[in-house]
Structures are given as structure tokens and as C-alpha cells.
Structure 1
Amino acid sequence: MRTLNLGILAHVDAGKTSLTERLLYAAGVIDEIGSVDAGSTQTDSLALERQRGITIKSAVVAFTIGAGSDATTVDLIDTPGHPDFIAEVERVLSVLDGAVLVVSAVEGVQAQTRVLMRTLRRLRIPTLIFVNKLDRGGADLDAVVDQLATTLTPRIVPLGTAEHQGTKAAAFRPFRERDAGFRARLLDVLADGDEALFADYVEDPASVSYRRLRRALARQSRQARVHPVFAGSAITGAGIDELTTGIARLLPSTSTSTATATATATADDGGGTAGPPGPPRGTVFKVERGPAGEKIAYVRMVAGALRTRDRVTAGKVTAISVFDDGGTVPRAEVPAGRIAKVWGLAGVRIGDDLGEDDGDGRENGGGHHFAPPTLETVVVPRLARQKGALHAALAQLAEQDPLIDLRQDDLRQEVSVSLYGEVQKEVVQATLAEEYGIEVEFRESTTIHVERLIGTGDAVELIKKDGNPFLAGIGLRLEPAPERDGVTFELEIELGALPLAFIRAIDETARETLRQGLHGWQVPDCRVVLTRSQYAPRQSHMHATFDKSMSSTAGDFRGLTPLVLMTALRRAGTRVLEPIHRFELELPADTLGQLLPALARLRAVPGTPAPAPAGTGYVLDGDLPAAHVHALQQQLPALTRGEGVLETRFDRYQPVHADPPDRPRTDHDPLNRKEYLLRVSRRV
């Protein structure tokens, strides 16, 4: 048995969810094809997905191609197509063996189609292209194929032609060796990526057999060097048999067994690699909650086999289910190469590299980095009494998606969430209403900045000195750290000089305090060093119980740490940085003159225009502040007659040159010592 983890990707409304339904129907998994419009599809389970006819959350379903020793189990992942959910797509791409990119035969290549293809090629994910909707009026396969070659990549190989397109009788007829021009087309594209084939072709084109060309096509397709093109209709079923055969023969798969998984690929067939036997290792790409509120992790195994009762850092595996013929079945283990649902991992988060507990509190292999969301908005319940329930519900949603950063403002009784785009507001709103019964509204979105240390700063507060009301003494030093290193906590005091519970309290409080720097923005990368400590040992009156007024507690250290840390932060100094997106814009040549002034007004820094691949316009790239991305998206149709295609992605943070913006604090403001002590002392 072979296994293939397959992604279906497309621009919105190109028909990828309908294609998923058709593939399941053709494999005998379902008896009736669901409808996106009717909300009866297998993979769109969210109410908003059914209402709007779009995919929001990735879904997994399995089916089998072929039978016996030639059978291939396909774990198919239906992914979102809307650009606001590109983070969901990126998480899925990390676990794919191959992909099918769906393009409409009527609308052709669209904005998100280009974004997805660039990402697939950058990650070198083997990809087939399926031109859908041949039965629709206005379908033109030849025009779309030309568009694919000019706007996506010239390394495409159409494997057939359309008959009766634009009608219900539309069909896909595969090319054969005798078809005029097909063999020459194969030679032209494949020889460019195969030196031996090219040498034989130059010497004697007739000596290169058609069988050799088909083997070269399979090999280069599995290596993501060429992209075979199929066509048909997900609604009528035209071309589905040919696409199914192509999935099994032209994309890399992995040979698995119930005990372990080993790679059976050779250089000639280009098959997938499951990784060596040994300790279990996998990637978590989705987390959801079960009916009883339990966490369920979606894991793609990379090596070894994960078994029930295995212990990893995120918890102990209590149950495993693998995807099989449209559903899931319980299994005692999941081998490398397969995708499974895993229960029992209470501490798991999306992006974790799942492995054996190595004793240092971290998963083997480290985590993945995802582009951060750059917008945030305040969520307000329509019923004031539901504020507590709203926070609990958003906390659960944040568990399922770590990039939905939750920010609680206890002073104003407000909660904020992070976003990639405005459509996500609808998703959060619908989810809260459907699953939690909470109706909410949103305030205007604002841009998320960060603060970085300018230098090094230190501060000390000792017991009964300088107005310190806590039975705790702390010395802290803050030092800048490289980007993406995060906040680290280190000790310069002797081991045993301070009880472990107090050290843990300082560490946790320091990390929480650094979520709001001098201007209220998070300080993401720095080293916190504990340089000095004091505490009053546990004491009690004669014949009496413990007296905390005479003894230090963890609360004393939690109360003092923000004061010391913010003093050190003031002395180090911080600089506010704004998120910058990298943009790439294709536009008609005659619209460049009016577009450049608009980019200048949005503080964009464009590069030098370059000719577009099709030769009918320009490609313009450059930098754009995240705060103005939405404005450019709104203005672009008018500036380019609706022909401009914009791709943006988070690139970096850069210093704000004007007066740095401040964000209202949500804590007790340790920058104001008097007010802080009044509030904290009252709590103590």
C-alpha cells in the first residue's frame, strides 16, 4: 500500500470543493455528490462555509485509488482559497506530498491562483493543474493553457484537449503518441530539464522513445520541475478518471506498513520519502475541539510510528484515528507518511514538531515560523453579561489557531484578537454565534506594531529599600536578542540561592510583562537575566501556623518583577517598529503613471518596473506598510481598470520614522509606580 498526502488549492469559486466531492464519489466513498451551494459537501463543515460557499478551515478526507498492490491511499486536504486564510494554507502546505491546483476554464488564472502557484513552486511541491468547468458557457481550454504558460510557468505539459466545451457534453480527450505535436511538446519541455534526454534529442530526435518520454514526465513531475495539465468538469465528471490516474502516477507517494514506513522511491520513479524508522516524529498542522471539549491534533507523521500510550512533550497519546474511505477508523498506531487525528495531547499547538519527550521540555525538531498577523480589533459582546463567556470562547479559538493572539484588557473590560484580514471578522463572528451562542461586534481594525531594545539596561530593587513594599529582592538585566529568538530567561545567581518556585514566578511574570513595552507594544526578542535576588525564608510564630507577613511568597516576586523589569527597559530604551509587506503587482502598461502617485500616498517604496511575462504590461514589486495594504486592495481596481493583480506577504518590521504610536496598556502600568503599587497592594 502506498500513501499520498494531497492538497487541493484554488482561487475562490474555481471549484476545488466540488472537485473533492467528485473524487470521493469516483472512489466510491460517497453515494451522492454534495453541493457547495446547498451546503451539503463533505469538507465544508462550518456554517459560514456552507452559507458563503467558501472553504475557511482545512479538512481531511481519505480515499483509495486502484486495488491490491497497486493501490494508493490518498489523504486529501481541502484548503481555503480566500487570501485572508493564507496562513491556514501555509500550514497545510508543510505536510503535503503533492497538490492539485484548480483553475476555472471560464475565469482562467486569477489573483490567488498566482499567489498559490508561486508558493507551491517556492516550496517545490509537485503540482498537477486541473482546468475545471469545461461544461460552462465561455470555457476555453486553449486560452487558459496559454495563460498558464505566460502567467504561472512555461513548464506546463497539457495532456489532452477539450471536446464540446461550453456544453453539458464537454469532455477531456487525452493525447496519444500519434497526436500531432504532442510528442514534440513533450520533448521541448522535458529535454530542458534532463541533460541526457537533451543530448539524445539533439543527436537524433527520433531515437527518443515515447515510453522514455512518459517516464521522464513522471520523474520531473514528482520533482516539481514540470506541471502536467488536465481538464474536465467536477460537476459532470468529465476528465476525473484521467486526473485520478495522474494523481497516482505523476505525484510522489510513500510505501507504508502497519509497523513502520520506509521509502521505496528510486531516482527513476521519484517517489516520496517517509523518513527513516526510529523515534516518532511528525508535524501538527491543525487542532480542533471534540464534542466533550477535548483537544484533537491533526498530525502528519514524518518518521517512525506514533502509538497509543506514547508520551511526548505535549502529553500522552490516548487514542489515534487514521482517515479511511471518507471517515476515520481507530488504530493502535500511525506510521510515517500518514495523517492521523491524535487525542491526549493537552499542550499541543499548531506548528509543533511532534516527537518523543527529550527531557528538556521541548519537542524534538523545533517549531515552524508563520508570518504574524498584522491587524487587531476589539471584540465586543452585544450582551454585556456575556463578557466572561466571550473571553472563554475566544481562548478556545486561540488554542486552535495560535496566530489568533488574545489580548485581555481588564481595566477596560475589553478583549482583542489578531487578524490577517477583514473576512476573518466574519469567521470569528459566525463561529461565536453558531458554536457558543454569543453575538459580537467589532471595532475598527488597527495595525500591530512591536518594540525592540535599543541597548542594554539593568535595575535592582532590594527588600525594605527605596520604598519596596514586597518581601522580595530582584536584579534584572535586559539585552537585545536576534529576531525570532523570542524571550529567553537566564540566571546569573548561584543555583540554590533562590527557591525554584520564586525563579519560575519571575520568569513567567517577566514574559507576561514584556507583552507591553514602553509604548504598549510587545517586546518580542530579548534576554532577561536574573542578576540578584533576596527573599525572607519561611517563618512562623511560636506554636502558630505559617505567617506570610514574615516570609516571602511567589506573589511578592510576581508583584515586584514588573517594576524592576520596566525600569531596566527604560534604561535600555526601545524603538517602535511597524510591519512591512512585500508586494508584487502586475498591471497594464498605460496605468503605471496613475498608479505610482497612489503608491507614494500610501508610503509604498516601489522598485523598477519590469516587463510582464505576457509582454502586455509591467510587474512592479516593492515594500508597503501593512497599515495601507487594505487601502491599496480597495483602490487597485479603479487604478488599473480591474486588470491589476496584487500579491502581498509579510516581510519584516522596520522602525517608525514619525512619532511612535502608543497602545493603551491593559495591565496595572508598572511605568507609573505610585498607581501600580496602589492597585497591586490592594490586590495583595
Structure 2
Amino acid sequence: MHALNLGILAHVDAGKTSLTERLLHAAGVIDEIGSVDDGSTRTDSLALERRRGITIRSAVVSFALNGVTVNLLDTPGHPDFIAEVERVLNVLDGAVLVVSAVEGVQAQTRVLMRTLQRLCIPTLIFVNKVDRRGADGERVLRQIAGRLTPDAVAMAAVDGPGTRAARVTPYGAAGTGFTERLADLLTRHDDALLTAYVEDPSAVSYGRLRGELAAQTRRGLVHPVFFGSAVTGAGLETLRAGLTELLPAATGAADGPVSGTVFKVERGPAGEKIAYVRMFSGTVRTRDPLPFHGPGAPRRSPAKVTAISVFDRGAEPRRDAVAAGRIGKLWGLGDIRTGDGVGAAEAPGSRQHFAPPTLETVVVPRRPADRRALHLALTRLAEQDPLIGLRRDGSRGQTSLSLYGEVQKEVIEATLAEEFGVEADFHATTPLCIERPAGPGAAFEIIAEDPNPFLATVGLRVDPAPAGAGSDFRLEVELGSMPHAFVRAVEETVHETLRQGVYGWQVEDCTVTLTHSGYWARQSHAHGVFDKSMSSTSGDFRQLTPLVLMDALRRAGTRVYEPVHRFRLEIPADTLGPLSPLLARLHAVPRTQTVRDAECLLEGEIPVARVHELERRLPGLTRGEGVLECAFAGYQPVHGEVPVRARTDHDPLHRKEYLLKVVRRVAGRPEGG
């Protein structure tokens, strides 16, 4: 049986979890449709999800449809949990983007659609809630064309919208207007079809148009729009038929090299790790030694798979193997983390698609005795969401977390209390800045020359790189000039040291080049005993590299940049006057301003640290009619006082204190050549 790994995505409250329930009920997986309000849905299994009525973690459930096994992945809709959505995108064959027929296209809807288009993920659009008061399918269609994509076509008509009796009638070959709209859309992307249609429209059959619609949808070129209600079931059969007709089945050779992606990690009843894996190629079997690795990181030692479950028809039966195209749960991989790739072959789509977290908060236990328990609990949460970005300050007994927003912070606080029994206090969120080199800078220290107490020679040069380039390590010394283990020690320590620059922030967009290297070869006495005091080790390079790199960064100079969002603000035109002083006070910079009738559209940039206050003040200044959309736009230089982040390392900026911490003896180095 073919498989389709399908994602359900939406802005919060558009009805994607209700749609999931309706699809499961129609497939016979559940006997009764659950309610988000009652906390009885199949995919919102966490107590916190049921109480809040929102999806926090992605969930997988399977059902059969027209001979295809559909693995349906329900995802969070709140922007604070966008990282969960990102990980699901890496494993999808297709997606359904849910839009409310009442609220229409919303901020998160646009973020999701842009990402789906960028990744060329075949996407159907489902306009939900046609039975709700205020539903307006035509208005939503115009919004889809104007705000999401012009390459969309309605697949059905809605009769009696806004009432419980709303019905959905699919378009067919008899609908002249539909075939004309379909032909107009499809001929934009196919010259041969355009030529045939221009020469003789009647010669292009409806069957050919439907076939071309499926082909272009699977290539991510066009987006069929369906209508319905997850509550009443109206329009659901048309959508169900479209899933298997228009979206592509999973591909991959079961006998190929093993390749997969871990998109979720959870703990079982006994505390064991369970990894959710989408297989792209090959087959993993029980008792197989399975290598795995983080994105762009070296492969770690293989671990033996002790058990496998495969999602199938609403259940998760134990199996001996999971093959390409399927989603399985693997036991036995003790060091596995969310985002890891498994197997010898690189899995597709392992890179990050959404912006990184731009806020940070400090969390401390309310009871000092819970310090260790808090650290363990946060480590467990970081297994599930690596973007939490734990940063521990042992001297202060504090741990910092990277966040997307205030709701995520509230959820983590509740999770710590409910799942781990740890009550914690969170400090106010602050923007997560970065540092960039202002220019080139270089430094080196030579073995056996003061003031270098280590048996290593390291020279490093730091050069600025284009914005968004990240950090890169290069060699300007011969590859065989010293053992590879020493070169690797320098490279790993460089990346570790760049996490805290001159002002304590992560250093980005730079190239670090190894310009000098040297070591003392392994020494031993006549009787063959190894003499460590006369031989270089990897530890010498790991301890010296931070001193050299920070010296080079200090000479290069760094500048601190704060994260900014691009905003799109729709307000009544007569409220622009009262709103403008607030925008100025929040350092928001409008770039464009358009007034149409009684509506004003503003677009520009605003510091991330100011977005929350704008969201809070906007309803009162716009009579509740203002609509704000924000998306990460990059970083801008900090103006005024430069924010300094407390260090959590041994502080290589202060040499004497650093040496006292990393070596017992900073002087009296043994003589040698």
C-alpha cells in the first residue's frame, strides 16, 4: 500500500484539529468526533493541550483512504510553537493549509504558505467553518489570491454560507465557468497546454485538465481550494477525494541506503527515549546498529534499535522493520535528539526553514533544592525541542532559554510543574542579540614562547562574512602539518567559543582561519613510558584556542545587533494619528504607507523587543480593528548603550583568571624543543 505523509497546518483557531478529527471519523479510526473545547480530541493528548485548547506538540495518526495509508501530522497553530511545524515540514509529502471562512487569511497563515511555497511542498487549501455566522467564501478567495497565491482555484461552491445548513457542491465537467478558470490557471505553467487550448478549447478535455491539475499541484505550482465545515462534515468527501487524487504518494527505495529524519522525541513510561522517524530511503530493522547525527554534524556511534512501531490505520502496531516512505517509532537510541538524521545517507530537508528564536529568558527554581531537578527537566524538554537552546550559568545557578514568545514561556512553566513537579520562576524576556566582526583581526601564540603555557601553537584570523552566512572554519596551514585530532580540537573549540563573543553574544557571519599550527610529538622515556609533560595533547589546543580567538575578535572589534521583525499593519485610516506616536516610541520604522478608502496599510520594521507592547496597545488605539502581522526580518545594529550578556564560560577575555580556572600551573612550563 502506498503512503502519504500529510501535514495539517493553520493559524491558531482555524480548525485544523477539528478537521483532523473529522477525517479520522470518516475513515473509521474513531467512533466519535472529539471536541477541542472539551479536550477530547485524538491528537491533543497532553493535559496542557486539552486544558488550553491549543496544539503544543505535533502528533501522528494514520488512516486508510482509497488504497493509500495516510500518516496525518497535526501541528501547532500558535506562532510560539513554529519550531514544531518546522520539524514536521521536513517529513511531508503534501499539506493542507486550513483557513477560516470567518477570519480569513491571518498572519500565521501567510508565514506558513510562504514556507510551503519556498519548499515546493504540494499544498491544498481548505476553507473551514463555512457554517459559521460571518462566513464569506468569496471574500476569503480574494484574500487567498491577494495575500497567499494567485495560483489558486476554487474546487466547489458553497450554498447557504453562514448557517448550519451550509452545503458544498463540487465543481465538475458540466461547470463551464469552472473549466474556464481551470484552463486559465493551468495554461500559465504549461505552454503545450496553452497552445492546444488557444487553437481549440473544445479539444482540451476535462479529463486532461484534471490530470494536469494533479500534475501541477504535485509540483507545487497551483493550489486547489476546497470548502467545508469540520463540525458538520460539509465538503469533507470532496477534500478526501482530493487528498489522494492531487497529492503525491511517498517515494523512496526500501532496498536503498538507510536515510531518515527524527522529527519528534518523547519519553516512554519507563523514561526510555522514543524517536519518531520518517524514512526517506532504505529499511531499518529491529536489532540493526543505526548511526545518527545532528544537522551538519559528524555521525555518532551507532546504537542498536531494540523495538519498532509503525503507524497504520489508527494504531501503532509493533513491527520488525520500517521502510522508506513510512513513519515509525524507534526504541533503543539513547542519545538521539529531535532534528537528527539516521542512517549513512543524508536525509533531504534537514536545514532550518523558519527564523531562530529571538527572545531569551532566565529560569530559576523556586526551591533551591530543585536546582538539579530543574536542569534535568529542561534537558528533557531540549531533547524534544533543540531550539529551546539551554544556556547554563553554573556560577549563578541560572539557566537561560531561547524562546519565540510569551505563550511558549507560559507553556514551559506549566509543563515543568505538571510533568516534572518542578516550580520555577521566569525572568522577563529579553531580545536575543548577536555579534558580528567589524573588520579583520588576527592573533597567535607559539609553543614554548611566553606567555603561552600550553604545548600548542595556534594562530587564528577572523574575517567578516555576509549577513546570514553563519560561521565557517578554514585552514591556511597544510592539512598534514599536525595530527587531524589537533585540527579537529581547534575547529570544535572555535565554534564553541563563538557562542560568546566580546559582549557575550553568539558571534555570527564570520570566517575563522587557522593560520599557525605546531605541536610537540609524543615523547617517552627510554623505558617506553609516555611523558605527558613533554607531549602535546588535544587538551592543549582546546585550552589555548579560546585565548587566541578572543584576542583576534578583540582586535577585529565586534558590533552587537538586535533582532527585528518586518511588520504589516492594517488599521482604520483615521486611527493613524493616535498610533503614530506609539510607533515612534517603539522605534518602529514604517517603510511604506498606503491609504485605500477608509483603510491604511503600513509596512516596516520594528525591534523584536517592542512587538509585544505594540500587540497589547493596538486594539485600544484602533477600536479593535487593527490587524498586525510580523515576521523575522534579520538584525540591525543596536543604537545607544550596548547590551552585555553575562558569560558562562571561563572568560578568555581575562587571561589570568582564565588560566587559573583551566590549568593548575600557569607558570614553570617544562623546558623543551
**Matching of residue 486 in structure 1 with residue 496 in structure 2:** no
Q: 2:71 aligns with which of 75, 90, 101?
A: 75
State the percentage of identical aligned residues: 59
Partners of 1:581 and 1:626 within 8 A in 2: yes
Paired with 1:586 and 1:53, the residues of 2 have a C-alpha distance of 28
**Which residue of structure 1 lines up, in the alignment, with residue 455 of structure 2?**
472
Amino acid in the other structure paired with 1:110: Q
1:10 aligns to 2:34 (yes or no): no
Mapped partners of 2:548, 2:147: distance in 1: 57
Distance 1:520 1:380 in 2: 20
| 1:661 corresponds to 2:614 | no
Any stretches of 5+ residues in structure 2 without a counterpart?
292-298, 667-673
How far has the Cα of 1:330 moved from its partner? Answer: 3.2
- Would the alpha carbon gap of residues 94 and 595 (structure 1) be closer, same or farther in structure 2, given more than 3 Å must change? farther
Aligned with 1:102: secondary structure? strand
| Counterpart for residue 158 of structure 1 | 154
Corresponding residue of 1:111: 107
Deviates more, 1:245-254 or 1:665-674: 665-674
CA distance in 2, matches of 1:600, 1:389: 44
> Matched residues in 2 for 1:232 and 1:287: separation?
34
Query: Which one of 577, 592, 615 corresponds to residue 633 of structure 1?
Result: 615
Q: CA deviation at 1:432?
A: 1.4
Q: What corresponds to 1:96 in structure 2?
A: 92
Distance 1:333 1:616, change over 3 A: farther
2:13 is paired with a residue whose SS is: coil
Cα deviation for residue 650 of structure 1 reads 2.5
Given candidates 230, 252, 257, the residue that maps to 1:279 is 257
Aligned with 1:570: secondary structure? helix
Shift of 1:145: 3.6
Q: Does 1:457 align with 2:422?
A: no
Shift of residue 455, structure 1, vs aligned partner: 1.1
* Unpaired segments ≥5 residues, structure 1: 262-276, 358-362
Correspondence for 2:308: 320
2:551 alignment counterpart: 567
Contact 2:86 2:352 in 1 (8 A): no
**Cα displacement (A) at 1:60:** 1.3
Say which of 219, 222, 233 aligns to 1:223. Answer: 219
Identify the residue that residue 652 of structure 2 maps to in structure 1. Answer: 670
The 1-side partners of 2:488 and 2:152 are apart by 57
Q: For residues 167 and 505 of structure 1, do their structure 2 counterparts lie closer, same or farther at Cα, with a shift above 3 Å needed?
A: same
The CA deviation string for residues 218-245 of structure 1, in whole angstroms up to 9 with x for no partner, is 3333333333232222223222222111
Confirm or deny: 8 A CA contact 1:353 1:366 kept in the other structure: no
Give the partner amino acid of 1:94: N
What are the Cα deviations for residues 546-597 of structure 1, in whole angstroms up to 9, with x where unaligned? 8977877766655544334333332333222222333344444555555555
Q: 1:185 to 1:563 in 2, by over 3 A?
A: closer
Contact 2:482 2:517 in 1 (8 A): no
Give the conservation status (yes or no) of the 8 Å contact 2:309–2:317. yes
* Structure 1 residue 196: Cα displacement: 4.2
Take 1:675 and 1:238, find their aligned partners in 2: how far apart are those partners?
A: 70
Q: TM-score, normalised by structure 1?
A: 0.84
1 CA distance for matches of 2:521 and 2:368? Answer: 44
Q: Is the counterpart of residue 646 in structure 1 residue 628 in structure 2? A: yes
Say if 1:80 and 1:395 are closer, same or farther in 2 by CA, change over 3 A.
same
1:407 alignment partner in structure 2? 391
Q: Which has the larger displacement, 663-672 or 338-347?
A: 338-347
Structure 1 letter corresponding to 2:419: E
Q: Is the 8 A contact 2:442 2:556 kept in 1?
A: yes
In the alignment, the residues of structure 2 paired with residue 91 and residue 349 of structure 1 have an alpha-carbon distance, to the nearest angstrom, of 12
Q: How many angstroms does 1:381 deviate by?
A: 1.0
Partner Cα distance (1:126, 1:542) in 2: 70
| Counterpart mapping for 1:325-340 below 5 A | 325-340=313-328
For 1:681 and 1:464, the matched residues in 2 are separated by 17
* Mapping 1:133-172, distance limit 5 Å: 133-172=129-168
Alignment pair present for 1:441 and 2:425: yes
**153 and 637 in structure 1: CA distance in 2 versus 1, 3 angstrom threshold:** farther
User: TM-score, normalised on structure 2?
Assistant: 0.86
Q: CA deviation at 1:383?
A: 1.0
- Residues 344 and 473 of structure 1, relative CA distance in 2, 3 Å threshold: same
> 2: distance between equivalents of 1:117 and 1:64?
27
Tell me, in whole angstroms, the C-alpha distance in 2 between the residues paired with 1:128 and 1:369. 23
The answer as to whether partners of 1:510 and 1:561 remain within 8 angstroms in 2 is yes
Instruction: Decide whether aligned partners of structure 1 residues 379 and 601 sit closer, same or farther in structure 2, where only a CA change above 3 A counts.
Output: same
- Deviates further, 595-604 or 394-403: 595-604
2:41 corresponds to: 41
1:473 and 1:127, CA in 2 relative to 1: closer, same or farther beyond 3 A? closer
Equivalent position of 2:268 in the other structure: 290
Residues in 2 aligned to 1:141 and 1:124: alpha-carbon distance in whole angstroms: 26
- Give, in angstroms, the shift of residue 387 of structure 1: 0.8
> Which residue identity is paired with 1:221?
T
Call closer, same or farther: CA 1:585–1:119 in 2, change over 3 Å.
Answer: farther
**1:397 maps to 2:381:** yes
Q: How far did 1:384 drift?
A: 0.9
Deviation at 1:392, TM superposition (A): 1.8
Asked if structure 2 preserves the Cα contact closer than 8 Å seen for 1:452 and 1:577, the reply is yes
User: What is the match of residue 671 of structure 2?
Assistant: none
Q: Are 2:390 and 2:399, in contact at CA under 8 Å, matched by a contact in 1?
A: yes
2:363 paired residue number:
379
Shift of 1:628: 2.5
Counterpart of 2:52 in structure 1 is 52
2:296 corresponds to: none
* SS of aligned partner of 1:41: coil
Q: Do the aligned residues in 2 keep the contact of 1:356 with 1:364 (CA within 8 Å)?
A: no
Q: CA deviation at 1:9?
A: 1.2
Question: Distance in 2 between the 1:345 and 1:51 partners?
Answer: 32
**Any idea what SS the aligned residue of 1:99 has?**
strand
Matched residue, 2:497: 513
Report the Cα distance in structure 2 between the residues aligned to 1:230 and 1:667, rounded to whole angstroms.
Answer: 55
- One-letter amino acid of the structure 1 residue matched with residue 11 of structure 2: H
Structure 1 distance, partners of 2:665, 2:603, is 54
> Which AA in structure 2 matches 1:403?
L
Kindly indicate whether the alpha-carbon contact (under 8 Å) linking 1:56 and 1:85 is maintained by their aligned counterparts in 2. Answer: yes
CA shift, 1:327, in A, is 2.4
Deviation of 1:192 (Å):
4.1
- Residues 570 and 179 (structure 1 numbering): CA distance in 2 closer, same or farther, change over 3 Å? closer
The alignment of Structure 1 onto Structure 2 pairs a total of residues equal to: 651
Does residue 418 (structure 1) correspond to residue 402 (structure 2)? The answer is: yes
Q: CA distance change for structure 1 residues 497 and 237 in 2, over 3 Å: closer, same or farther?
A: closer
Q: Distance in 1 between matches of 2:419 and 2:210?
A: 51
Supply the AA of the counterpart residue of 2:223.
Answer: H
